[in-house]
Structure 1
C-alpha cells in the first residue's frame, strides 16, 4: 500500500461512518450527499490533527515497512472523525436556524 491509498481508504471509512451514523440517528442526518461531504471533511480534519502523533499514512508505511496497528488506529480515528463531523455540523446548523 502507498500513503495515498491509505489516505483514500481513511476518507472512505469516514464517509461510510457518517452515512451509517446518519441512518441510525435520523436527527443528525443531512441526507446522503450532506453526510458524505461532512464525512469527508470530518475524517480529514481529525486524521490531520491526530496524524501529528505518528498515525499519518506515511508513518504507517515507515519506509516500506507496513504497521498494521497504526493503520487500525488511523481507520478508527477516521470513522470517529466522520461521526463527530456530522454531530458538530448538526449542532451548528441548529444554532444558526433557531426559530
Structure 2
C-alpha cells in the first residue's frame, strides 16, 4: 500500500521535475561541440606558433639580432625576445600569403 501511495505522490510531482540531471540522457550533442572546441584550441595554438616562427624568421632575414661584437654570430637572447613587426597578425598574414618563401 505504501508503494501505491508513493507512486501516486511521485506522479503528481513528475511534471514539475527538471528534465535533465547529471548522468541522465541529454539532448545536447556533446561530440560535435567537443570537436569544435578542440579544433578551435588547435587553431589558436597553430596561429601562435606560426606568429612566433615568422617573427624569428623575419628578424633573421633583416639581421635584427646580429651580435654587435661578433658580426657572424647571432644574439640568441635578442632572438628569443625580438618583435620584428608591430603586431602578431602581421606575422601570420605574411606567413600565410608567402607560404613558399
Structure having the higher helix fraction is 1
Range class of TM-score, shorter chain:
0.3 to 0.5
State the TM-score, normalizing by the size of structure 2.
0.33
Q: TM-score, normalised by structure 1?
A: 0.34
Larger radius of gyration: 2
